[in-house]
Amino acid sequence: MKKSLKDYNFKNKRVLVRVDFNVPLDGDKVTDTNRIKAALPTINYLIDENAKVILMSHLGRPGGEIKDEFKMDPVAKELANLLNKKVIKVDDCIGEEVKKAVNRMQNGDVLLLENTRFYPNEKKNDSEFSKKLAENADIFVLDAFGAAHRAHASTVGVTDYLPSAAGFLLMRELNALGDVMNNPEHPFVAIMGGAKISDKISVIENLLEIVDYILTGGGIANTFLKAKGYEVGKSLVEDDKIDTALKLIKLAENKGVNLLLPEDVIIADQFSKDAQSREVKVSEIPTDWEILDSGGTLTLKRYTKIIKDAKTVIWNGPIGVFEFDQFAKGTNKIAHALAETDAKTIIGGGESAAAVKKANLLDKMTHVSTGGGASLRFFEGKPLPAVEALDDLK
């Protein structure tokens, strides 16, 4: 058990909070504020506790260089609107400018540091850089579940120099995911979609120990189908993972887990939103067409029935190219089936969360994770480095 916010007195303290403000931007506008909103309970709590709140985050992939398009200024503006309060923004995350800004802070003030990934030392978890991040604070709070699987300076390194605690968002994620992995109600169903089976081999292997069903879709299902001998045409497939797919099918059989593949799919003559498309059985895919949606009529009928009868469902990865409306049917149907079931429903962040949001069903799910990579690692049964680094509750 890790220390949480309730284990500290924050009055007059300079509190360094690692948040996940890696939000999508359109120029200088934030197009999705969900990650910022998710951090508000922790930020508001610290404000109410009369702390000096110093926020740090990465944004995008600047590659260790200062790039204007990845500066945190649009985030500061959006955060100020959401807090209905001034947010001080500085143009660095270490150094004199930060030190001066912190020294001027009053209790309850909020300061946002510049993108930590403007420094290559961040991803290297460099100890000197970690020390510089920590030197203007008294306590460190980790509230960035989306970055908790990364052993970076701002997530792990700073804990060598400051007492630390888990924020409310992080605790909520750990409790929700921990509960479903450690004490699930059965039938327990896992829906595995997305592009690559290679990203989820360890996840599937771990889930085979605890689930009753694995429903496959997307590129993952294509690789399984080819492994079973089906012609999949020009579909996205990982040919070097065919043997792995066969091993997973065999392992599922040995464990008594129903690993289900699509029976029918939506195929297209090209990878395009305007492509010609039609529904076919998986035994009827032409060599010059490709699967863009695993959600054929028979498949969805079978999958939605299993979801309806489930007690616990986790979903990671769309089952089609849901960015194209004509190939979003399967993913949308899965989202609505989850919204209508009485089961506990856990959405594993990333594209699954985006699909649920696009369908306006976020509030119908038991828990929607803010971290795709972190939730995947959790489903693998592996520790999250940033959580491991936090102070234990004695």
DSSP string covering 10-38, please?
-TT-EEEEE------EETTEES--HHHHH
**Is 373 marked active-site?**
yes
Which tokens in the block code for residue 67?
A: 């790039």
Instruction: Let me know if 201 is exposed, middle or buried by CB neighbors in 10 A (0-12, 13-18, 19+).
Output: middle
Catalytic choice (196, 247, 302, 311): 196
Catalytic choice (13, 14, 35, 377): 35
Determine how β-strand 88-89 pairs with β-strand 290-293.
Answer: unpaired
Closest Cα to residue 116, out of 43, 73, 62, 77? 62
Q: What phi and psi values does residue 85 have, to the nearest 5 degrees? A: -160, 150
Catalytic choice (194, 217, 320, 350): 350
* DSSP assigned state of 318: -
What are the distances in angstroms from CA 104 to CA 53, 109, 154?
12, 10, 23
Catalytic choice (60, 64, 233, 373): 373
**Is 317 marked active-site?**
no
Task: Say how far apart CA 368 and CA 38 lie, in whole Å.
Answer: 11
**Is 381 marked active-site?**
no
Task: Say how far apart CA 311 and CA 114 lie, in whole Å.
Answer: 44
Quick one: how many helices (H) and strands (E) in the chain?
14, 17
In sign, the C-alpha dihedral spanning 367, 371, 373, 378 is negative
Q: Specify which residues 264 forms β-bridges with.
A: 281
Task: Say how far apart CA 376 and CA 373 lie, in whole Å.
Answer: 5
Starting at the earlier edge strand, list the strands of the sheet with 164-166.
88-89, 110-112, 52-56, 14-18, 139-142, 164-166
Closest Cα to residue 185, out of 334, 341, 365, 310? 310
- Return the active site residues: 35, 196, 350, 373
